[in-house]
Amino acid sequence: MCIEVGERIYPEFFNQAYEDHRNRYYFALKYIRRDSKILDISCGSGYGTDFMSKNSNCSIVIGVDKSREALEWAKKYFLNEKCKYIECDIENSVDCLFEYGDFDLVTCFETIEHLVDDKKFIKKLYNLLKKGGKLLISSPNEDVIPFERNPFFDNGKNPFHYRHYTYKQLTDLLENEGFQIIKSYTQENEIVEGNNLPVLFFVCKKP
């Protein structure tokens, strides 16, 4: 069973999540090093947080979300000794994460388009990372799914989003806040090189 509420999904098992969602977390595994500390931004129902913790030799994965309902689901179906869930609106404050120090890897999938101040948010992600730490971030591709003419909505606009990004816009946003872009990918289901599919997917580094 996988329940869908708005843009959130509530599976009981990882393999019930949508294929494109699962593939982002499969992809993330290659960037997880032994004993690394990982932050999963907007973890939702927790399937990705749990997956990364169980399928890597990390020390811990912290899943953060502002939805109490989603985190209750995560704690019911996707809790283990290597993951922890925190209720926190990270767009407004990261105080809830100070006790954990800096992170080796931050995953931020399909989140930034939901936030009012994207520049401020990216700077927070930068500050949460260790020097040399990695950010994996994805967002809808404006050149494929235009924000004002979204083919998946009757009125042409996704009510949950504030914007979509072109390749250049997302590149500029990340680089202007200090990130070095290591590699750019694109995604429909599989994550491949390029920038011509519905989702942009960047691998970034804090120099």
Per-domain residue ranges of the chain = 18-205
49 vs 46: CA distance, rounded Å? 5
The predicted-structure confidence for 99-114, as pLDDT tens digits, reads as follows 888 999 999 999 999 9
The predicted-structure confidence for 114-172, as pLDDT tens digits, reads as follows 999 999 999 999 999 999 999 999 999 999 988 767 776 677 777 778 899 999 999 99
**Could you tell me where the DSSP H helices lie in 155-202?**
167-176
What pTM was estimated for this model as a whole? 0.94
Q: What average pLDDT is seen over the chain?
A: 93
Dihedral angle computed from the Cα positions of residues 55, 185, 130 and 98, in that order, rounded to the nearest 10 degrees: -70
The predicted-structure confidence for 49-95, as pLDDT tens digits, reads as follows 999 999 999 999 999 999 999 999 999 999 999 999 999 998 888 88
Does 2 score more than 80 pLDDT? no
What strands, in cross-sheet order, belong to the sheet with 60-65? 83-87, 60-65, 37-41, 103-109, 129-140, 199-205, 180-187, 191-193
The predicted-structure confidence for 43-59, as pLDDT tens digits, reads as follows 999 999 999 999 999 99
CATH topology classification for 18-205? Rossmann fold (3.40.50)
Q: Locate 92 and state its tokens.
A: 């407004």
Q: Is 180 helix (H, G, I), strand (E, B) or coil?
A: strand
Q: Locate 140 and state its tokens.
A: 């809808």
